[in-house]
């Protein structure tokens, strides 16, 4: 059994299906389970059709698979709370537990851990694991494309500071194993619905708030606004980066109202600790430059909380901008 974090992104799903396709080639019986649905721009990955999405109707099935699994591979998360209801099932399971991840503060739940916060993506670690097992020759086009996708998106399209020499060397190898990098990029980035583009236009022109003095910019989207543009899972993916792309901005946020409170996404430049704000004030965590959380408040209250927190970070917000 392979699982990954809630609202899987390309690194989460790519590492899961990359490992699944590899293990199937090794003769294993594999079931990927995700704690929630994920965006349509990831559906091209080989094995997507076999993914079991946790929900009310699949709860029993998930429980049985997790109970029976000899090996449970958990990818791209470091704490069991990141897989919601599946967390308790995995915790109680008797199978051998593996955790492969690059997030901070790992919880001690796995029997074997491949953990490196210096890795840009969990997909990078999966590639290295396959190599370490002497199985590079088993990496085919499908596996290579799953792993390529996760590295591509977790490095922001090879632009973030985590884009190391090793990242380029790994993706070069993946291309040599058949990954069509241009196709993967098109599938993931150039796959917009018209609604999503119009929604982006609305968000940028009507919703974006900029606090130039504070060096902060953010979006705060209500369920009404999201519904107006028939926003689907994944439609707000990447939106927060537009706020961070503004000249002079150190910290960017996206506050998204949902049925269970407000989902928060934070992005920062340089050494500014977005994960500290996510952990201290929004029940979350993440990486220094990309973090998130969730809080049970109204949208207005969540934004007010965010603004009030900024005062304590005034100097740091200014300093990271000046360093550029
Ligand atoms: P995103 O803003 O794309 O949802 O998440 C960015 C990063 O923040 C993720 O890769 C993950 O590390 C972290 N993150 C997002 N949401 C949560 C959350 O609810 N809890 C924790 N611990 N980390 C989160
Ligand atoms: Mn990742």
pLDDT by residue (tens digit) across 303-313?
Answer: 999 999 999 99
Q: Are residues 113 and 228 in the same domain?
A: no
pTM: 0.91
Q: Are residues 156 and 226 in the same domain?
A: no
293 alpha carbon – ligand 1 mean position (Å) = 6
Q: Are residues 65 and 156 in the same domain?
A: yes
Number of domains in the chain: 2
Rounded-to-integer distance, Cα 20 and Cα 111, Å: 19
Q: Are residues 284 and 146 in the same domain?
A: no
Q: Are residues 106 and 92 in the same domain?
A: yes
Q: For the domain that residue 185 is a member of, what is the CATH number?
A: 3.90.1640.10
Q: Within a 10 A sphere around the Cβ of 161, how many other Cβ atoms?
A: 12
Q: Are residues 224 and 312 in the same domain?
A: yes
pLDDT at 317: 98
Cβ 285 under 6 angstroms from ligand 1: yes
Rounded-to-integer distance, Cα 324 and Cα 320, Å: 7
Domain boundary among 169, 189, 209: 189
pLDDT at 120: 97
Cβ 156 under 6 angstroms from ligand 1: no
Number of H-type helices and E-type strands within the chain: 13, 12
pLDDT at 301: 98
List, for the chain, all residue ranges whose pLDDT scores fall below the cut of 70.
Answer: none
178 alpha carbon – ligand 1 mean position (Å) = 31
Ligand number with the minimum distance to the CA of 153: 2
Partnered with residue 206 across adjacent β-strands are none
Rounded-to-integer distance, Cα 190 and Cα 111, Å: 40
Q: Are residues 257 and 176 in the same domain?
A: no
Domain, as residue range, for 240: 194-323
121 alpha carbon – ligand 2 mean position (Å) = 5
131 alpha carbon – ligand 2 mean position (Å) = 19
pLDDT at 324: 78
221 alpha carbon – ligand 2 mean position (Å) = 25
Cβ 290 under 6 angstroms from ligand 1: yes
CA atoms within 13 A on the CB side of 160: 23
Q: For the domain that residue 309 is a member of, what is the CATH number?
A: 3.10.310.30
- Best probe residue, ligand 1, of 12, 284, 302 (max atoms within 8 Å of C-beta): 284
Cβ 18 under 6 angstroms from ligand 1: no
Q: Of all protein residues, whose CA lies closest to atom 3 belonging to ligand 1?
A: 265
Cβ 16 under 6 angstroms from ligand 1: no
Cβ 295 under 6 angstroms from ligand 1: no
């Amino acid at each position: 059994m392979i699982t990954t974090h809630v609202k899987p992104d390309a690194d989460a799903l790519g590492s899961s299906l990359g490992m699944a396709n590899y293990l199937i080639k090794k003769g294993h019986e594999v079931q990927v389970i995700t704690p929630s649905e994920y965006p349509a721009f990831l559906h091209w990955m080989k094995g997507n059709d076999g993914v079991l999405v946790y929900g009310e109707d699949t709860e029993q099935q998930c429980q049985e698979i997790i109970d029976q699994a000899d090996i449970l591979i958990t990818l791209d998360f470091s704490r069991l709370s990141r897989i919601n209801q599946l967390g308790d099932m995995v915790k109680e399971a008797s199978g051998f537990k593996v955790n492969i991840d690059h997030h901070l503060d790992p919880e001690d739940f796995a029997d074997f851990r491949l953990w490196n916060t210096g890795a840009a993506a969990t997909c990078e670690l999966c590639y290295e694991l396959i190599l370490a097992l002497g199985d590079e020759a088993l990496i085919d086009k499908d596996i290579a494309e799953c792993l390529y996708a996760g590295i591509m998106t977790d490095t922001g399209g090879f632009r973030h500071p985590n884009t190391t020499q090793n990242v380029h060397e790994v993706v070069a190898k993946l291309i040599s194993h058949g990954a069509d990098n241009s196709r993967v990029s098109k599938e993931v980035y150039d796959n917009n619905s018209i609604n999503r583009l119009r929604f982006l236009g609305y968000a940028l022109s009507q919703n974006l708030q900029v606090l130039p003095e504070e060096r902060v910019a953010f979006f705060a989207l209500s369920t009404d606004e999201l519904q107006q543009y028939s926003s689907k899972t994944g439609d707000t993916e990447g939106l927060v980066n537009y706020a961070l792309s503004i000249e002079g901005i150190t910290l960017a946020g996206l506050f998204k109202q949902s049925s269970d409170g407000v989902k928060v996404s934070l992005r920062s430049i340089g050494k500014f600790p977005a994960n500290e704000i996510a952990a201290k004030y929004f029940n979350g965590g993440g990486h220094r430059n990309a973090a998130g959380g969730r809080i049970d408040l109204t949208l207005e209250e969540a934004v007010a909380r965010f603004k009030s927190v900024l005062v304590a970070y005034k100097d740091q917000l200014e300093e990271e901008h000046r360093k550029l």
